[in-house]
Amino acid sequence: MAYGFFARHFQRDLLPAQGELAPGNLRHEIVDHARLRFPKGEKARHYNALQKLTYLFVIFLLLPVMIATGLTMSPGLDAFAPWLIDLFGGRQSARTLHFITASALVAFVVVHVAMVLVSGVFNNMRSMITGRYAIDVDDLSKVKP
């Protein structure tokens, strides 16, 4: 998370632009993802609003809650941060939230891997490793200047 702020990754790549959060735009992106229609051409090089919101949700909500509830369940942390137990309403509540958060993270990973497989394994893996995302010449000819 610190590196994301330091490298300005959050500001540059993950903060949605003003028009991206319009309800019609989000609905359209959800429908496209559900129908396995993926962006082509230059649009494929950038995260869409749905991806941005999902990554921000995972980074700033799910992961911190997972860490905090995990620490709350540890009896060894009582002396250092007894307020954590009160914050989550006891160890059992923290355990429940921890389980729900873990399930949401597993679902995120499963959907993420499935989308990578469906949208093109070779090109996606190459772009993750090398940073190079290949766009078909046919796709570029369809993009309006």
The 10s digit of each residue's pLDDT in 54-68 is 999 999 999 999 999
CA proximity to 115, closest of 25, 26, 55, 27: 55
The contacts of residue 8 (CB under 8 Å, 6+ apart) are: none
Which amino acid is located at 123 in the chain? N
Tell me if the pTM is above 0.75: yes
Q: What is the pLDDT of residues 57-109, one digit of tens each?
A: 999 999 999 999 999 999 888 889 999 999 999 999 999 999 999 999 999 99
**SS3 labels along the chain:** CHHHHHCCHHHHHHCCCHHHHCHHHHHHHHHHHHCCCCCCHHHHHCCCHHHHHHHHHHHHHHHHHHHHHHHHCCHHHCCCCCHHHHHHCCHHHHHHHHHHHHHHHHHHHHHHHHHHHHHHHHHHHHHHHHCCCCCCHHHHHHCCC
